[in-house]
Amino acid sequence: MNIQFHGGVAEVGGSCIGVETDDARIALDYGIKVGDEALNGLPSDFDVFVISHAHLDHSGNLLSLASGNPVIVGSKMTREITGDLLLDMVKIQHMKGNNFPYTNHDVENIKRSWWVREAAALPGMSIQLYPAGHVAGARMISVQGDGKEILYTGDFCLHDTMILEGAQLESLPKNPDALIIETTYGGTTRLKRSELVDLFLKRILDTIEREGNVLLPAFAFHRSQEIAKIVDQAMADSVLPDYRVYIVSRLARRIAQHFNSNKQFFTEEIQEQKYPFNYRHVKHLHRTKQIKEPAIVICTSGFGHAGASLRLLTEWAVDEDNSVLISSGYLPPESPLRIAKEKGEVIENGSRIPVRAEVDQIELSGHADQSELEKLIRTVKPKRTFLVHGEVEQAYALSEKISGITEVHIPEKEETFTI
């Protein structure tokens, strides 16, 4: 069995790994580098494309296959959300006036080509999916063929969150010939989720007490629904007093509807609620103009690059009563949120506005930290381990921890291994 690393090695973005036997050739993920929507550079001659989860760095390149009737395998939630995120990508590219040759019709073709499966068999190869935590519908993928077995984690986490269970280690195959594992936070250890949520709520409470606005930039898929649920529950439990709370994102609203109609992907507690993502205290709005201040506002983009979060950041940054709470662990170097946090300024039309609002980063990440990565490797006991989906320093930091228990490789782009 051959494994070839086409993308998402020594970096985050453009994930794609080819697995090949004499009988079949499949792709594990087919992503883009977000910010580079050129959609080329990946081979397309695979029999099947297995998608771990809907984030575009794992799924976005599927659009380039729209006219070729590809066979795509993935969970039901991943199909629905990938469809929504691809439609959003098409809309943004056309709005920017970019020469983007894909349309909504192509997105429909991708959804039609999708086999909603948790397992699949093809000549000489079988595929099994396992819940991965991370985001709704995310799966790890095992591949068996030629008497060999590979486990690919995709993005995952082991800890439970308010809406999603972490990956269950007991259910995973043991002693695979190869493990391909993400290393986004290979060198990072984090506080417990519950402690982070308490900190998060404490910051919101402090701002409410001074009657300020709270800006919560978040991704439309999963993180904004999770944060809305955390705030909603905190108000129901009187951990937070009544205060206006809004989500400003049409996409987040559409995704909340998918969540409501696919409750089986969430925790038991969520499943017991009739419409868990129709919040009691959190209102969906389409425009920032509709906001009545003071308020808590969850909005996109998660990095503050555009949309409501950039608008509100610019407007609210000048007032020391306001606060900006960043939940993403990673912020691209030139993103407005990173500049606001590190340099204390927001740049609007070339002029610098000093930030007086409190800017804080409390990571509510869906990725495993170093201890979780190590725990998975110790439990699964792979013969060899390939570290992907992380900057090289993160991969090296993890490599040091695990080199005594497994043979470790940090592959390079297009490198091929035979197992």
Query: Contact residues for Zn ion (CB under 5 A)?
Result: 55, 155
The smaller minimum CB distance to Zn ion, of residues 136 and 402, is found at: 136
User: Toward Zn ion, which CB reaches closer, 6 or 53?
Assistant: 53
CB closer to Zn ion, 25 vs 222: 222
**Least distance to Zn ion, CB of residue 88, Å:** 16
Give me the least distance between CB of 402 and Zn ion, in Å please: 22
Query: SS3 of 55, please?
Result: coil
The least distance separating Zn ion from the CB of residue 147, rounded to whole angstroms, comes to: 31
CA angle 48, 40, 254 (to 5 degrees): 70
Nearer to Zn ion, 1 or 398 (CB): 398
CA distance 253 to 247: 8
Sheet with 384-388, strands from edge to edge, namely 119-122, 125-131, 139-145, 148-152, 178-182, 384-388, 407-409
227 phi, psi to nearest 5 deg: -65, -40
Query: Residue 369 carries which DSSP code?
Result: -
- Count CB-CB contacts under 10 A for residue 195: 11
Give dist(CA 196, CA 194) in Å, integer. Answer: 5
Minimum distance from CB of 165 to Zn ion (Å)?
A: 16
| Beta strands 351-354; 48-50: pairing state | unpaired
Answer for the pair 143, 149: CB distance below 8 angstroms, yes or no: yes
Q: State the minimum distance, in angstroms, from the CB of residue 329 to Zn ion.
A: 12
Considering the complex, state which of residue 219 and residue 279 has its C-beta at the smaller distance from Zn ion. 219
DSSP code of 325?
E
Distance of closest approach, residue 90 Cβ to Zn ion, in angstroms: 20
Shortest Cβ 306–Zn ion spacing (Å): 20
| Euclidean distance between the first and the last CA atom of the chain, given in angstroms as a whole number | 6
- Work out how close the CB of 263 gets to Zn ion at its nearest, in angstroms, rounded to a whole number: 21
Q: Could you tell me the smallest distance in angstroms from the CB atom of residue 217 to Zn ion?
A: 17
- Judged by beta carbon, residue 297 or residue 368, the one nearer Zn ion is 368
User: Is the CB of 246 or the CB of 259 nearer to Zn ion?
Assistant: 259
* Sign of the dihedral through C-alpha 221, 227, 228, 233: positive
Q: How far apart (Å, rounded) are the C-alpha atoms in residues 5 and 7?
A: 6
- Could you tell me the two tokens for 335? 């993103």
In terms of CB distance, is 229 or 367 closer to Zn ion? 367
Alpha helices, H only, 355-412: 370-380, 392-402
Q: How far is CA 143 from the centre of its chain?
A: 23
Fill in the amino acid letter for 363.
Answer: E
> Which is closer to Zn ion, CB of 46 or CB of 156?
156
In 254-340 the beta strands, taken as DSSP E runs, fall at: 282-285, 295-299, 323-326
Residue 173 or 329: which CB sits closer to Zn ion?
Answer: 329
Enter the tokens of residue 162. 């308010």
Alpha helices in 210-294 (DSSP H): 223-236, 250-261, 268-272
The least distance separating Zn ion from the CB of residue 156, rounded to whole angstroms, comes to: 9
